[in-house]
Amino acid sequence: MAEYPDEKPQRPDGHQPANGPDIDGPNPFAVPMSYQVVPTDDLRSRDQSVTAEPWLQPKAFMPLAGDTPGAIEASSASGKNAILTVADLAEHSVWDEPTTSSSLVSDQDPNAITWYGYYLFKASQTSAIRTWWVTCGIVLLAGPLAILGALFNGYSGNGLVMVVLMGPTVEEILKLAIPLWVIEKRPWLFSQGGQVLVCAFAGGMAFAVIENWVYLNIYIPNPSERLVVWRWTVCVLLHVSCSIIAGTGLIRVRQQMHATRSRPQLIHGAGWIVAAIVLHGSYNLAAVLLNDLF
Amino acid sequence: MQFLVALLLFLGPLIVFGVLIGRTLESRHFRRLEQHAQANADFFVTQLKSFPYAISADAAKSGAPIGAVTPTLVCTEVVIASDYLKNFFASWRNFFGGEVRSYSRMTDRAKREAVARLIDQAKALGFNAICNVRVETAEIGDRRKKGAQAMASCLAYATAYHCVEASGRGAMGGLTPDVAWNG
Amino acid sequence: MIVTNTETVPGYRVQRVLGLVQGNTVRAKHLGRDIAAGFKNLVGGELKGYTELLTESRREAMQRMLAQAQQLGANAVVNVRFSTSSITAGASELYAYGTAVVVSEGA
């Protein structure tokens, strides 16, 4: 049985949280909140005994109200065994719950762990140079993704639905697949909206180049000069502008994240992405119809 | 045909043997639960939301270790597997209707074992009563899927606290885990 | 942290009710455990691997719930409830929820 000290919980680093539990006088029943990380095994072990339960652990790592993400990360940095990492806390933050009424709890501490607070913390930890490196990486990956897109188009036939609806949808999403994932899961890896546009531009370019190469060398062995010029101007322009339109949608997602101080929701950019797909699809439709006419 | 006979010769004894062992283990489990209930006859189990016959914190504090005085949550889980004979009986019952006794015995095992473990955990912490016992049927895997394993899994939880000795509990003190769980 | 599944705690007075706190998790055991569970069906009896799965899930969900209570500045969680559902074969979802409160000694 753990011996519980009589005084209020003290932490080794002497940090006093701004918004700690407000209880009058000492509370001998409160479990002391030691600033120590218990290895994961201690709580998720096969140990079925009652003393392994989290609420009976005197030393279980628990954040105090008012702890900054930085303080928590520093304290749990000692090992991958931390029970609750700051990312986990941010993911399940009570302050992002709709049920947490501000009238029930005291004024929210500005340092309280929320998803957006965690974003700001990670953003402050990520240097501008690093975000540009990430942008470079995404630009480089646009090529392989474009090849994947071309393979998909090559194997899925030439039906009208395929050309007008499925093809554009898959292409537009593949062009922005990596920026999409980054915005949703690691938004701090972009420091400004312009980087998203750079990625979108690269995605569009890569798709246009690969597609042109496939068309002008494989599908149409001896293209006329007019077709070559057409493909390298209008088609490239179409791919890039569709990609930029969809990219604007992603920037919109970012803006909404900042405006509502909540996690990014792709629905805010859905309109732009749909617009890009429609534009791409209508060009394809026009191309098919004109081909049939002439 | 030869293959089928060989399969039957191989699997038949295995299933019969397994079922016999399963039967023995099951009756042994029930005997153990019975013994557990008798050994803990004065352990007070209720599913009331209040704390019947609770000792006030002040009184309990003198003497008892501090951690053991504040009521606390205790939780246990048990998953009991079905066996092939049970599945066979169940499919039989499915055809004719009626209570699937072999399955109710299985769920009974899981629930009684879970509560027995709750008592053990509360005792390990120095408590002598639990109240507000709740038994939740836990689900592992997809029940809708055909051929899914039949099993009885349950999650039981309760609040452990200190209550007066059995002699001071009056008429209500007669409640034992046995009474509460002979379903 | 005082944790109970009753609405009150004897010997304590609820000073402030802070609100609902919750934690959930979906966990699965590795394939080996699932196969072992299949063999266990020959004789029946307890499936230790799945019992462990439930214990782990419950502890993780509780951990998350307790962290939320701590963030709110609570020193107790009362009226804790559990809820489970099956997601896919071999996996279970466990959801724990309760009310975070500040209690002080005295009836």
- Give the homologous superfamily in CATH for domain B2-181: Hypothetical protein apc22750. Chain B (3.30.110.70)
Helix (H, G, I), strand (E, B) or coil at C96: strand
- Dihedrals φ, ψ of B132, to 5°? 55, 50
- The lowest-confidence range among A80-84, A149-153, A205-209, B156-160 is A80-84
Show the beta-strand stretches assigned E in chain C: 2-3, 12-28, 45-46, 76-86, 91-105
Q: Which residues of B touch A55 (CB under 8 A)?
A: 72-73
pLDDT > 60? residue B136: yes
- Write the CB contacts of A54 (distance below 8 Å, at least 6 apart in sequence): A43, A60, A83, C59, C62, C63, C66
Closest residue by Cα to residue B68 from B177, B163, B168: B163
Domain that holds residue A12: 1-125
Q: Is B46 on the interface with C (CB under 8 A)?
A: no
ipTM of the complex: 0.84
Q: Is C36 on the interface with B (CB under 8 A)?
A: no
**Distance between CA B102 and CA A77 in Å, rounded?**
52
Q: Is A210 found in the same domain as A97?
A: no
Do B75 and A4 lie within an 8 Å CB cutoff? no
Chain C nearest-CA residue for B137: C84
Q: Is A90 found in the same domain as A64?
A: yes
Q: Which residues of C touch B78 (CB under 8 A)?
A: 46, 51
Q: Is A196 found in the same domain as A101?
A: no
- Domains of chain A: total: 2
Average confidence score pLDDT of chain B: 78
Q: Which residues of B touch C8 (CB under 8 A)?
A: 50-51
Q: Is A133 found in the same domain as A98?
A: no
Q: Is A44 found in the same domain as A33?
A: yes
Residue ranges of domains in chain C, CATH in brackets: 2-105 (3.30.110.70)
Mean pLDDT to the nearest integer, B143-165? 77
Q: What is the pTM of this model?
A: 0.71
Q: Is A199 found in the same domain as A114?
A: no
Do C51 and B77 lie within an 8 Å CB cutoff? yes
Q: Is A263 found in the same domain as A121?
A: no
Q: Is A47 found in the same domain as A34?
A: yes
Report the pLDDT value the prediction gives residue C48, as an integer from 0 to 100.
83
Q: Is A120 found in the same domain as A70?
A: yes
Q: Is A280 found in the same domain as A134?
A: yes
**Distance between CA A1 and CA A9 in Å, rounded?**
18
Report the pLDDT value the prediction gives residue A282, as an integer from 0 to 100.
92
**Distance between CA B128 and CA B134 in Å, rounded?**
18
Report the pLDDT value the prediction gives residue A111, as an integer from 0 to 100.
64
Q: Which residues of B touch C91 (CB under 8 A)?
A: 140-141
pLDDT digits (tens, 9 = 90+) for A165-183: 888 888 898 899 999 999 9
Q: How confident is the model at residue B90 (pLDDT cuts 50, 70, 90)?
A: confident
**Where do the domains of chain B lie?**
2-181
Report the pLDDT value the prediction gives residue A11, as an integer from 0 to 100.
42
Which of these three, A76, A101, A125, is where a domain ends? A125
Stronger pLDDT, B63 or A262, i.e. the higher one: A262
The end-to-end CA distance of chain C, in Å, is 18
Helices and strands (H and E) in chain B: how many: 5, 4
Q: Is A168 found in the same domain as A101?
A: no
Q: Is A164 found in the same domain as A49?
A: no
